[in-house]
Structure 1
Amino acid sequence: MNPYIGHDSQIYGIEEHRLVGGKGDGMRLLEVTNGKGLELTVSLDRSADISRLRYRGINMSYFSPCGYVAPAYYDSKEDGWLKSFTAGFLTTCGLQAVGSPCTDDGEVLPLHGSIANTPAEAAYWFEEDGELVIRAVIKDEGIFARKLRLNREIRVSLEENEFTIKDTIENTGDSRTPMEILYHMNMGYPLLDEDSIVEIPSYEVAARDDHAAEDLDNWMKMIKPEAGYVERCYYHKFREEGRASIYQPKLNQGLEILFDPKELDAFVEWKMMGVRDYVLGLECGNCYPDGRDVMRRRGMLKFLEPGEKKVYNVKVRMM
């Protein structure tokens, strides 16, 4: 025990809050601080995603014009997902689909799936071995439908300015089921601007389409907000270590993302330099965002057998 403080929350801890008003009315938020400069907000009603990330009082992530949007407003038709895309630091895409709306194996699939608009069924938190630990259960299950369960654990270090996300996805049904996931992590101002240094030490970079290919040589260069900018996506491949980082020299701080490229074998750089739509996505996943039908044709679609579990780990470290 620290004899200088009355309550642990004087220095670090987790507090639960609820939003009042607007489309986010009633949403449960966990405000987490490690006492060393790292602060993050976990949205329990949005798949226990991370809606805000701050380091030493500086915002690190992108918050879209949508703001906070409760799951009740989710539009599952075509690209209706964008109407509730808060972005934040992390929006989880999946589990039944990632990327472009499509029809695959007779199933009509919306943009990026529905898991990010699904509330946690249960959540709790505690302190353990020098870490703040949050656990949440999110069910993507229905009658006569897929039955996938996401068990999410977020560990925030009290010693270092870093946190880890451990996701265990289980097929609780009785049939072999497609399963896609993309960790849509979004960098924002003031961490992100034209002076930001982006490093993605991949061995291969490919443009998603012809538009992105026109500027392939500048995939790592950020620019000022540009009216009418059309998004560009680049696909990166890694061998032993998956890593991506962004550093802002004016702030003398940044962050890096670490993951296993054998498990999360599809990394997407989403470069969107628009006015107010100014964001850089550094996104590891087990598929590319081209639609589940495309992933099936390319042989990249992953499946879970009945009772099978798959574990993914992502670490985020402040710099």
Structure 2
Amino acid sequence: MTAELYGRAVPDALRRMGSPAQALSVESFTRTDGADAGSRRIRMVNGPLSVELLPDRGLDIGQVRAHGVPLAWISPTGFPAASVDDADGRGWLRAFGGGMLATCGLRNVGPASDDGGERHPMHGRYVSLPAWVVRAEATAEEVVVEAVTREAAVFGDDIELRRRISMTVGEPVLRVRDVLVNRGSRPVEPMVLYHLNLGWPLVDEGTRVTSPATEVVPRDAAAARGADSWDVFPAPAEDYPEQVFSHLLPPREPVEVAVIAPSGLTVRVRFDTAALPGLFQWRVAEHGHYVLGIEPTTTPTILGRADARERGLLHPLAPGEERALGVDIAVEGAAH
């Protein structure tokens, strides 16, 4: 497939511009109003694909638009500064803005959890950690932003996440590449989940999900009520308790999950089960919370760190050792 910008091969398109900035850019700015006033933003533009990055949330991803069509669900909270260490351990929900990517971890995934006498907040602390942006550039070959985020404590674990988010010019694919590094002096046991949040108009009544799963298992009674239709999104309702399904994946191979709207608009999430052996699907179909979550993870549990330890799902990272993770998000069928 030849990379194109607005119907022309990339080299030909670039020759027709006074500057590549007509179609390719990386723009940094600061929010000046509202609950997220003072927070940094970076906008990546690759022709018709526009991506908002959130450096003050570990370089997570906010809204993504293809030909102006929004793909991600944005929650009622927006993206205020996150405070996760509150009394009930649910501060993550009070600042969960949704967006294309909310990273869970780096030491807990799921509800608040006590592990070895240490309290871990819901979905970990990552969304409260600012990143150091070390590169932000648009070239004739790619649009790329790189950053470093660190979760550390005196006498505790010291984990660095080096993130690279890139798009090849003319290709509607967003690539997230992470490297976990143990910067401490003793082994650590990281947990990471990529909480990808898709919304309307991609997510609509009749939107289909295809999965490489060998089996799809409901988390609880609420999910069991939707077990026969996990792959078809329902119409919005006044009340729709959240449903979570665990997808049992083939081991150690590249896989793809596709989310296909009735209009043909499609998002494909690709990852390797050698690094991300678990996958959860989250859906809520009520007004204001009409959202589909696709969630690859390093640890196939959504019940917290203590459960992961009990089930032998925590894998140590030695001092100085690195571990590579990542997902690709490809877009097809966006209207011009």
TM-score interval, smaller chain: over 0.9
Shift of 1:22: 1.5
8 Å Cα contact 1:98/1:182 also seen in 2:
yes
Aligned residue for 1:233?
A: 244
Aligned residue for 2:166?
A: 155
8 Å Cα contact 1:122/1:136 also seen in 2:
yes
8 Å Cα contact 1:40/1:53 also seen in 2:
yes
8 Å Cα contact 1:149/1:170 also seen in 2:
yes
1:120 to 1:309, Cα distance in 2 relative to 1, 3 A: same
Name the stretch that deviates more: 240-249 or 274-283.
Answer: 240-249
Shift of 1:168: 0.4
Partner SS state of residue 136, structure 1: strand
Aligned residue for 1:294?
A: 307
Q: Distance in 2 between matches of 1:313 and 1:249?
A: 28
- The Cα offsets for residues 126-184 of structure 1, whole Å up to 9 and x where unpaired, read as 24672111100001112122100000001112131102111001110111112000000
- Report whether the alignment pairs 1:60 with 2:56: no
Aligned residue for 2:36?
A: 24
1:237 to 1:110, Cα distance in 2 relative to 1, 3 A: same
Q: Distance in 1 between matches of 2:197 and 2:238?
A: 20
Aligned residue for 2:266?
A: 254
Q: Distance in 2 between matches of 1:302 and 1:273?
A: 35
- Report whether the alignment pairs 1:134 with 2:145: yes
8 Å Cα contact 1:225/1:276 also seen in 2:
no
The runs of 5 or more residues in structure 2 that have no matched partner are 1-10
Partner SS state of residue 140, structure 1: strand
Q: Distance in 2 between matches of 1:292 and 1:268?
A: 16
Shift of 1:217: 1.0
Aligned residue for 1:9?
A: 21
Q: Distance in 1 between matches of 2:271 and 2:247?
A: 13
Shift of 1:210: 2.6
- Report whether the alignment pairs 1:209 with 2:220: yes
Scaled by the length of structure 2, the TM-score of the pair is 0.90
Partner SS state of residue 56, structure 2: coil
Partner SS state of residue 273, structure 1: strand
- Report whether the alignment pairs 1:306 with 2:319: yes
Aligned residue for 1:107?
A: 118
- Report whether the alignment pairs 1:267 with 2:279: yes
8 Å Cα contact 1:93/1:116 also seen in 2:
yes
Q: Distance in 1 between matches of 2:312 and 2:97?
A: 31
The runs of 5 or more residues in structure 1 that have no matched partner are none
Deviating runs (4+, > 6 A) in structure 1? none
Q: Distance in 1 between matches of 2:33 and 2:170?
A: 36
Q: Distance in 1 between matches of 2:29 and 2:20?
A: 18
Match 1:168 to one of 172, 179, 198: 179
| Partner amino acid, structure 1, of 2:294 | L
- Report whether the alignment pairs 1:243 with 2:256: yes
Partner SS state of residue 178, structure 1: coil
Name the stretch that deviates more: 92-101 or 201-210.
Answer: 201-210
Q: Distance in 1 between matches of 2:150 and 2:286?
A: 35
Q: Distance in 2 between matches of 1:74 and 1:52?
A: 22
Q: Distance in 1 between matches of 2:324 and 2:255?
A: 16
8 Å Cα contact 1:206/1:234 also seen in 2:
yes
Partner SS state of residue 296, structure 1: helix
Aligned residues between the structures: 316
| Partner amino acid, structure 2, of 1:299 | G
Partner SS state of residue 69, structure 1: coil
8 Å Cα contact 1:258/1:314 also seen in 2:
yes
8 Å Cα contact 1:232/1:272 also seen in 2:
yes
Name the stretch that deviates more: 192-201 or 91-100.
Answer: 192-201
Aligned residue for 2:100?
A: 89
8 Å Cα contact 1:103/1:293 also seen in 2:
yes
8 Å Cα contact 1:121/1:139 also seen in 2:
no
Shift of 1:11: 1.3
Q: Distance in 1 between matches of 2:145 and 2:286?
A: 34
Identity across matched positions, percent? 31
Shift of 1:280: 0.4
Q: Distance in 2 between matches of 1:262 and 1:134?
A: 25
